[in-house]
Amino acid sequence: MHLSRRQLLSLLAALPLAPARAASPAYPLVRPRALSFPADHGAHPDHRIEWWYLTGWLEAPGVPEFGFQITFFQIRPGVAEANPSRFAPHHLIIAHAALAWPESKRLLHEARSARAGFGLVEARVGDCDVRLDRWRLWREGTAFRALIPAGEFELALNFGPTGAPLLHGDGGYSQKAPGAEHASQYVSLVQLPVSGSVQVGGRQLKVSGRAWFDHEWSSSLMHPQAAGWDWTGINLADGGALMLFRMRDQRGAALWHGGTLRSPNGLAQHFGPDEIVWQTLREWRSERSGVLWPVEQSVAFAGRRLRLLPLMDDQELDSRSSTGAIYWEGAVRAIEQGREMGRGYLELTGYDKALKL
Amino acid sequence: MRLLASLFLASLGRRRFATALSLLAVTLGVALGVAVSVVNRSALDEFSHGVRVIAGEADLQIIGPRTGFDEALFARVALAAGVDVASPVIEVDARLAGRNEALRIVGLDLLRSVRIQPALRPQLAEGTAQRDLFDPDLVFLSPAAMQALGLKPGDPLPLQIGLATVRLRVGGLAGGFDAGQRAALMDIAAAQWRLNQLGRLSRIDLRWAAGGDTPQAREALRQQLPPGVHLLAPAHREAQAEALSLAYRANLTMLAVIALATGAFLVFATQTLSVVRRESEFALMRALGVTQRQLLGGVLGEGALIGLLGGVAGVALGYLLAGFALKLLGGDLGAGYFAGSRPRLHLDWGASAAFLLLGFAASVLGSLWPALHAARAAIAPALRSGHNPAPPPIAVHHLGVIALLLAGAGLAYLPPVFGLPAGGYLAVACLLAAGVLSLPAVAHGLMRVLEPLPGLVFGLARARVAGASANAVIAAGGVLASVALAVSMAIMVASFRDSVDAWLARVLPADLYVRSSGGGAQGGLGLDAVARIAALPGIARMDTIRHEQLRLRAEGLPVALIARPIPAAGAGAVFPMREQRAVAGDAIWISEAMVDLYGWRPGTVVELPLGGALHRFVVGGVWRDYARQSGAILIDLARYRALTGDKLVNDVALWLKPGTADTALRAALRGAFGEQIEIGSAGEIRAISLALFDRTFAVTYALEACAVLIGLFGIAASFAALAAARRREFGMLRHIGVTRRQIGAMLAWEGALVAAIGVLSGLLTGAAISVVLIYVVNRQSFHWSMDYSVPAGSLAVFALAMIAAAAVAAFLAGAQAMRQNAVSAVREDA
């Protein structure tokens, strides 16, 4: 069950269409408030959806640089909440992990999903500790740790020490589309040093690198006019960090923009809907799905222009047969005036729908 | 060579009647064997496929008692070393409210089961959302269930769980079930909640990670399992189902083989008589240069042809019979092993080939002795005119008979082999052979006894039978085999039925029995319901009974546990004890099957897994049980409740106060519980049980009838063959003034006398075989004992009817010969 983050929201959006016999629970809406850590690294189980999302670039002796992505979702489906069974699906945890492994010329990926319960599957309240059977992401001291025995590959990574959290929007209150109800609490930890081991292709690699960590929770659904979403998070080479996103409507035009630039000295600059421009530089058509992905993007903000150049073109995740979800989520380099200025991840969703139109 | 073949073929064609009878006998024997095997194969395949569908790609299943086990085990095994996926499962046979029908509901954690049973999942109907998969009110039906119940998505589906009605709805179809499988899917949490299973699991399906299946991993997993919960491979469950019906199948197959043996005897009889009649013909062929070998091959070839044709026809007929039986009786032929299954016909190549071969072999073997006789016959005397062919005298083998009887007795004492009474079957074969070998003696003795009886025609017939004793013995042989089979089965069934009847009277002492309609482990009555029953007027005494199933060994079938109050007078007051002894400490009482299967005896100290822990008990007695061939244990209800905390009861036995009408209490019960309970009087339950018993044996009656029919064919065939050879004799008799009617009467008497020889031997042999069936075959196959009881009246009627039928058969068969006029018959002599 592979899902991109925003796509999950659009799937959840289908829920109100379900017969309204079981009244949906009152999901709390996010509103501006002071976040406190480590408590807010932990889960917010009353909300409809929450995710912990790690991406980054890794290097190891003897292999080309490669990207990784680890995501844990917690969903409150709001069904059968009165069921006293310990198996009752009060919360679902979905996790997936992918390696942008240049040797295979495509993503290696694996996913798990399960209902929370029995201590096997849970997202702890009070501090970050999310587990799904043998997959686990948790905080330990000043660092985060992830154990992902995914079968085809196995990750055992340390992230940290962490710096101060980067709070997007208004102190972590981040608007995603027109209307105050379309917002989330959104916190990032950026420039995370990575160490640990990756087992892939029969090799055990000692790796190091740099990661980006998003933690976001919300009760709102995808905006009814939204058709797709582009996101990027870049650890800049100067020690700064850049996050930009765009919500697109059915015609492909921007419905909303947002972004944050943190300078190396820690000062954050927030961008509103009118301050960012995305432009497609190059498209790549997937032979598997036939979808045309705008894999090379130019993003303009605050008088600067960055070219996002993918590590490889094929970083598509296609699971339409099982969940109907297909998206592109890959490692990218950020180029400014011909020089590499940083590295991070780019997420592209909703392009298969555009194809149908 | 071709000429030779055509000569033998022409011979078969000339005696069409006898050939057809032989063919029919082989056909019937083969057909019965094939039908029994095919029906069972079909039922087993259906069951196995059902198990496989539900098990998916699971490598192992964790299975416990019928009421399941604590769900906490799931957390302990889910992350055990080597385990890739653990999928918890709830299985409930829920009764459909307002219908006398149960539906198997499988509760799955779909997010986990999809990795073991990917096909087994609900198909969401149009306009429903993904989260409907978790809706606690929705049930997803297999296509077969949807069709059989006449439901469509959105329809209400009320279930009766215990005394409560749970209102669910049909959410849509469930994919992945077998075409004929009636079952339904639910979310596991919904199933736990709505089907009253909170905290319980029926099963955990496991799949190993690559390389995870090591002896250490298995052992570590086993360490986690509470007592009474076992680790099983799905294939093992199939094998258990096979084992459960194996004994029943083996017994039916044995009957088919006896029918086939009777057929072989018939081939023997007709071939012998035909060979004797063709002695001159064969001698001429030998004189013309046909070798002994060719003659031998020719007669054997006749038998082989009959065997082949009969075998092929038998296989076809067997499938026809099997299809009919499956439609009419179900996959267990009415015996109750695969309740509710209506399997489709499956091909059983192995059994088809085996019985085809057996039919062929029976026919060839039946022809062997006649063929040897034909080949070895002296040429010169047979060529002489006026040669009166007669079968060679049959020697009386007293020593052989004694040796066979001794061997049979010895074999009967052998222990079972792989759960089958192999020694018993061989003993039956020895007794049958002894019966056949002692036929000449019986014939001789019987004719001596009948000598003083008056009557000219009778005297002629008696003299003829006594004089041509070889002929008589051969014809009587077929009768013996079939009568022995029928008599032994009749005695066994009668003994069984009488014992069951007496047993039912003992285990059903109360006036009325109440059971909640929602059957199964969770469908019991709670304490409050029991209290409500107790408060009704007119009840003198009541007993509550709880039924559970335990798994004592991973490889064994579940053992029934019956918890009921044990009175101070001892367990013998409530159950029919065969053996009892006073014991100190907690006592249990076991059925005879437990003695055979587990080796427990009175005084044995055993440990039972109750309430997730092992508890020590002493066996206080052994009781007779006809209901559960895999074993049953009786325990005191209070003790059971203290150890398990299980307060439900399945049955309530009620004794009426004097002067209270049965109908008044029934009305009061109906008033209090409506249709949520089933009420039965001891008499009603007994009648239902005996009807079930009779249905179980319906198939064996059919087999017996076939065998008897084949035996009668033997008489008819022998007399038809002899009649032609005796034309001269008849002509002579007519010449000296014997009327045609008198010849007919003589033939009828001869038939009756020959049948009497066979019937008398058959009665004796059958009685001996029935002893083996009752004390060895049944005990070892089904682990139940019974009291010997002979249905003398029915047997007497059967014996007389058999003799009368033989008389008619002989008369009819000889009718053709009698049509010849006396003049031509005598002229032939000249």
String of DSSP letters for B117-181:
-TT-EEEEPTT--GGGGG-TTEEEE-HHHHHHHT--TT-EEEEEETTEEEEEEEEEEEESS-TT-
Residues 13-52 of A with CB under 8 A from B: 14-15, 17-19, 21-22
Residue A186 has pLDDT above 60, yes or no: yes
Residue A27, in any domain of the structure: no
Residue A288, in any domain of the structure: yes
Contact B178, B342 (CB under 8 A): no
How many CB atoms are located within 10 Å of the residue B227 CB? 18
Is B154 in CB contact (< 8 Å) with chain A? no
Contact A348, A330 (CB under 8 A): no
Contact A80 B189 (CB under 8 A): yes
Residue B820 has pLDDT above 70, yes or no: no
Q: Write out pLDDT tens, residues A278-315.
A: 999 999 999 988 899 999 999 999 899 999 999 999 99
Is A77 in CB contact (< 8 Å) with chain B? yes
Torsion of CA B85, B90, B91, B97, to 10 degrees: -150
Q: Enumerate the residues of chain A whose CB falls inside 8 A of the CB of residue B112.
A: 114
Judged by DSSP in three states, A244 sits in: strand
Burial pattern A325-341, b for ≥16 Cβ within 10 A else e, equals bbbbbbbbbbbeeeeeb
- Work out the end-to-end distance of chain B between its first and last CA atoms, rounded to an integer number of angstroms: 35
Residue A66 has pLDDT above 90, yes or no: yes
Q: Enumerate the residues of chain A whose CB falls inside 8 A of the CB of residue B111.
A: 92, 113-115
B438: confidence class by pLDDT, cuts 50, 70, 90:
confident
Angle between helices B727-735 and B822-829 (to 10 degrees): 120
Higher pLDDT, A197 or B805: A197
Give the percent of chain A with pLDDT over 90. 63
Report DSSP letters for B695-750, one per residue: HHHHHHHHHHHHHHHHHHHHHHHHHHHHHHHTHHHHHHHHHTT--HHHHHHHHHHH
* CATH number (domain holding residue A182): 2.40.370.10
Q: Write out the two tokens for A264.
A: 């190396």
The reported pLDDT for the residue numbered A354 is 47
Mean pLDDT of all residues in B802-828: 68
Q: Enumerate the residues of chain B whose CB falls inside 8 A of the CB of residue A87.
A: 71, 88, 109, 188-189, 192
The reported pLDDT for the residue numbered B823 is 45
Among A121-135, A319-333, B45-59, the range with the most confident prediction by mean pLDDT is A121-135
Residue A261, in any domain of the structure: yes
Residue A15 has pLDDT above 50, yes or no: no
The reported pLDDT for the residue numbered A41 is 95
Among A116, A123, A121, A118, CA closest to A134: A121
The pLDDT mean for chain A works out to 88
Domain ranges of chain B: 1-54+234-392, 60-232, 432-509+686-830, 520-649
Contact A85 B78 (CB under 8 A): no
The reported pLDDT for the residue numbered B245 is 67
Contact B66, B558 (CB under 8 A): yes
The type of residue at B296 is: L
Among A232-236, B304-308, B370-374, B523-527, the range with the most confident prediction by mean pLDDT is A232-236
Residue B221: its H or E element? helix B215-224
- The burial class, CB within 10 Å (0-12 / 13-18 / 19+), for B31 is buried
Mean pLDDT of all residues in A80-89: 91
Among A40-54, B138-152, B257-271, the range with the most confident prediction by mean pLDDT is A40-54
Q: Enumerate the residues of chain B whose CB falls inside 8 A of the CB of residue A115.
A: 109, 111, 189
Distance CA A183, CA A26 (A): 16
Residue A29, in any domain of the structure: no
**Residue A232 φ/ψ, nearest 5 degrees:** -145, 145
State the pairing for strand pair B156-161/B200-201: unpaired
| In B625-685, beta strands by DSSP E | 632-636, 651-656, 677-681
Chain A: give the shortest CA distance to residue B640, in Å: 26
The reported pLDDT for the residue numbered B375 is 79
The ipTM assigned to this model is 0.88
Give the Å distances, CA to CA, from B114 to A117, B55, B58, B109, B177.
Answer: 18, 12, 11, 8, 14
Contact B190 A14 (CB under 8 A): no
The reported pLDDT for the residue numbered B343 is 64
The reported pLDDT for the residue numbered B812 is 82
Distance CA B816, CA B625 (A): 56
Give the range of the structural domain holding residue A282, as residue numbers without chain letter.
5-20+38-356
Q: Write out pLDDT tens, residues B160-219.
A: 887 788 899 998 898 888 777 888 999 999 999 998 889 999 999 998 888 888 899 999
Domain count of the fold of chain A: 1
Distance CA B86, CA B594 (A): 34
Chain B: give the shortest CA distance to residue A311, in Å: 32
Distance CA A80, CA A95 (A): 22
DSSP type of residue B466:
H
Contact B767, B790 (CB under 8 A): yes
Mean pLDDT of all residues in B793-822: 78
Q: Write out pLDDT tens, residues B360-414.
A: 888 888 888 888 877 777 777 766 655 565 666 666 678 888 898 999 889 888 8
Report DSSP letters for B556-612, one per residue: SPPEEEEEEPPPTT-GGGTS-EEEE---SSSEEEEEHHHHHHH---TT-EEEEEETT
Q: Residue B582's Cα: distance from chain center in Å?
A: 38
Residues contacting B192, CB < 8 A, separation 6+: A85, A87, B71, B90, B107, B198, B199, B200
Contact B128, A18 (CB under 8 A): yes
Residue A325 has pLDDT above 80, yes or no: no
Among B10-14, B252-256, B272-276, B611-615, the range with the most confident prediction by mean pLDDT is B611-615
Residues contacting B493, CB < 8 A, separation 6+: B697, B700
Residue position matching structure tokens 């299973």: B197
- Cis peptide bond prior to B153, omega within 30° of 0: no
Judged by DSSP in three states, B244 sits in: helix
Among A324, A327, A325, A326, CA closest to A347: A327
Chain B: give the shortest CA distance to residue A293, in Å: 28
How many CB atoms are located within 10 Å of the residue B819 CB? 8
Residues contacting B187, CB < 8 A, separation 6+: A80, A89, B107, B108, B109, B110, B133, B134, B135, B136, B138
Select the residue from B84, B130, B194, B195 to test the A interface by mutation, using most A Cβ atoms within 10 A. B130
| In A141-264, beta strands by DSSP E | 143-149, 153-159, 166-167, 173-175, 183-200, 203-218, 226-236, 241-249, 254-262
Give the percent of chain B with pLDDT over 70. 87
Residue A20 has pLDDT above 60, yes or no: no
Q: Which of A85, A115, A133 sits opposite B192 (nearest CB)?
A: A85
Q: Enumerate the residues of chain A whose CB falls inside 8 A of the CB of residue B78.
A: 118, 120, 133
Distance CA A194, CA B204 (A): 39
Residue A26, in any domain of the structure: no
The reported pLDDT for the residue numbered B185 is 92
Q: What is the CA radius of gyration of chain A?
A: 19
Judged by DSSP in three states, B672 sits in: helix
Distance CA A231, CA B821 (A): 115
Query: What's the pTM value of the predicted model, to 2 decimals?
Result: 0.75
Contact B153, B125 (CB under 8 A): yes
Contact B193 A15 (CB under 8 A): no
Distance CA B70, CA B246 (A): 33
- Work out the end-to-end distance of chain A between its first and last CA atoms, rounded to an integer number of angstroms: 25
Residue A25, in any domain of the structure: no
The reported pLDDT for the residue numbered A295 is 95
Between A70-79, A148-157, B11-20, B666-675, the lowest mean confidence (pLDDT) is in B11-20
Among B571, B593, B591, B592, CA closest to B583: B571
Judged by DSSP in three states, B790 sits in: coil
Residue A33, in any domain of the structure: no
Is B211 in CB contact (< 8 Å) with chain A? no
Contact B135 A87 (CB under 8 A): no
How many CB atoms are located within 10 Å of the residue B410 CB? 13
Is B71 in CB contact (< 8 Å) with chain A? yes
Give the percent of chain B with pLDDT over 90. 12
Contact A14 B129 (CB under 8 A): yes
The reported pLDDT for the residue numbered B2 is 67
Mean pLDDT of all residues in B41-53: 69
Judged by DSSP in three states, B526 sits in: coil
Higher pLDDT, B654 or B36: B654
Report DSSP letters for A248-296, one per residue: EETTS-EEEEEEEEE-TTS-EEEE-TTSEEEEEEEEEE-TTT--EEEEE
Residue B342 has pLDDT above 60, yes or no: no
Report DSSP letters for A288-326, one per residue: TT--EEEEEEEEEETTEEEEEEES-S--EEEETTTTSEE
Q: Write out pLDDT tens, residues B734-752.
A: 888 888 888 888 888 888 8
Q: How many residues make up chain A in this entry?
A: 357
Is B192 in CB contact (< 8 Å) with chain A? yes
Give the Å distances, CA to CA, from B380 to B8, B298, B387, B657.
Answer: 21, 21, 10, 92
Q: Write out the two tokens for B285.
A: 């062929």
The pLDDT mean for chain B works out to 81
The reported pLDDT for the residue numbered A143 is 94
Residue A212, in any domain of the structure: yes
Angle between helices B422-437 and B439-450 (to 10 degrees): 50
Mean pLDDT of all residues in B643-653: 86
Neighbouring-strand partners of residue B577: B623
B523: confidence class by pLDDT, cuts 50, 70, 90:
low
How many CB atoms are located within 10 Å of the residue B364 CB? 21
Report DSSP letters for B32-67, one per residue: HHHHHHHHHHHHHHHHHHHHHHHHTT-SEEEE--TT
Residues contacting B824, CB < 8 A, separation 6+: B731
Distance CA B226, CA B219 (A): 13
Select the residue from A1, A79, A93, A120 to test the B interface by mutation, using most B Cβ atoms within 10 A. A79
Distance CA B208, CA B69 (A): 22
Between A91-105, B275-289, B552-566, the lowest mean confidence (pLDDT) is in B275-289
